[in-house]
Amino acid sequence: MNLLEILISSLLGSVILMSITQSGYQIYASLDQQVAKVTLQSEALQALQMMGEAIQIASTPKGSSIPRLMVKDTASMSNTQAGQFQVRKGAASMDGSDAFFTTNKQEDMDYQAFFVQQQGHYEQRDGVLYIQTKNKKGRLQNDALIAHIQSMQLQLGIKENGSMEWYEPYQISERVSKRNPHWNSFKTSERTPLT
């Protein structure tokens, strides 16, 4: 084997090694993206399960079989008073996102609220879904459930005459109470919301 053959074989070996390294890096990046997607999907399922459980264990008003669910469109929850909606302005604002809370007088977890709020600075800003509960001292605390949320819109499905009618929070509140236009309390027993 002469020097020219050694140089050519070294060059070919380097090219093959570089292509294998590049392929390995692409496979690693693809796997990393898949792990991130699976984690995000898992967190989303857990968040949806927590919201569903909050609705399932919510108290029902007397004379009704439907749980009480208070929703406000384009809102967030107050950090100082349980069950109070507020419109967040400025850096934390998530325009178009709804908020809701449930109460249960018979359970330890008598109050649960869910809302979306912006976190971070500048280009690093991200929407985060929060659950608000009361701690052992009765103070409100917010815990992050999942990031990368753009908005949360809630609808109520009411089965009427065999077909499903979908309503936005502001539509339901106008139907339920003109005096409290942003609060929804579903009390009519012939209506069955789907959760």
In the block, residue with structure tokens 């380097």? 14
Number of separate domains in the chain: 1
- What Å distances lie between residue 157 and 46, 53, 165, 192, CA to CA? 22, 17, 6, 8
Does 22 fall in a domain?
yes
Does 118 fall in a domain?
yes
- Mean pLDDT, contiguous 10-residue spans, the chain (195 residues): 79 85 86 87 88 81 65 80 78 72 73 85 80 89 88 77 78 50 37 37
Does 173 fall in a domain?
no
Does 132 fall in a domain?
yes
Q: Look at strands 99-103 and 70-72 and give their pairing.
A: antiparallel
Does 191 fall in a domain?
no
Q: What is the pLDDT of residue 121?
A: 74
Domain containing 127 equals 13-152
Q: What is the pLDDT of residue 151?
A: 81
Q: What is the pLDDT of residue 143?
A: 92
Does 158 fall in a domain?
no
Quick one: CA dihedral 72, 77, 78, 81, positive or negative? positive
Does 184 fall in a domain?
no
Does 165 fall in a domain?
no
40-49 burial code (b ≥16 CB/10 A, e <16): eeebeeebee
